[in-house]
Amino acid sequence: MPLGYDIYPDIGLLYIRGQGAITQRQRMSTMLAWLREPEYQNCRDVLVDLADVTTTPKVSELRELLAMLKQERPARGPRRVAVVTSKPIAFAVARTFAQLVRLRGLPLDVKVFMNPRRAWTWLRPEAPLFQLR
């Protein structure tokens, strides 16, 4: 699957990872799935790893994602989102997403990084580096 996620309830983390080409349908269905996970509401942070993704969404698709997020997002859940990209175009699109989140008034602080270590340090400055389990 090009887009997937894991919830680590013991550390309150939603970890999203992408690989290869991702369609808007995959983005929408995966986002809806994690928003409906019972453990989602106990997550403090989100780490999104898009370093191995080969496609980027259009601005209209970002708006569609945000509309669904605004409608489906539970009252409780993560407040900080660190997005990791590896390509300049993906970095720019992710920054556009962060700006749209602010403009829509969603209670999320989204930052974009090209370095996973910096992303983790921003999310959890006092915690050891996150290792996949």
Residue 133 falls inside a structural domain: no
Residue 130 falls inside a structural domain: no
CATH number of the domain residue 25 falls in: 3.30.750.24
Using a cut of 0.85, tell me whether the model's pTM lies above it: yes
Residue 68 falls inside a structural domain: yes
pLDDT for the residue numbered 104: 92
| Range of weakest confidence among 77-81, 88-92, 126-130 | 126-130
pLDDT for the residue numbered 34: 97
Q: Tell me if residue 73 falls in helix, strand or coil.
A: coil
Residue 87 falls inside a structural domain: yes
Beta strands 45-53 and 80-84 are parallel
Residue 32 falls inside a structural domain: yes
How far is Cα 122 from Cα 111, in angstroms, rounded to an integer? Answer: 9
Torsion 48-69-4-45 (CA) sign: positive
35, with CB counted inside 10 A (0-12, 13-18, 19+), is: middle
Beta strands 13-20 and 3-8 are antiparallel
Residue 128 falls inside a structural domain: no
Range of the domain at 81: 3-123
Domain count, the chain: 1
Residue 131 falls inside a structural domain: no
Residue 129 falls inside a structural domain: no
Q: For residues 65 and 27, is the Cβ–Cβ distance under 8 A? A: yes
pLDDT for the residue numbered 114: 96
pLDDT greater than 80 at residue 133: no
Torsion 122-78-104-37 (CA) sign: positive
Which segments of the chain are extended strands (E)?
3-8, 13-20, 45-53, 80-84, 109-113
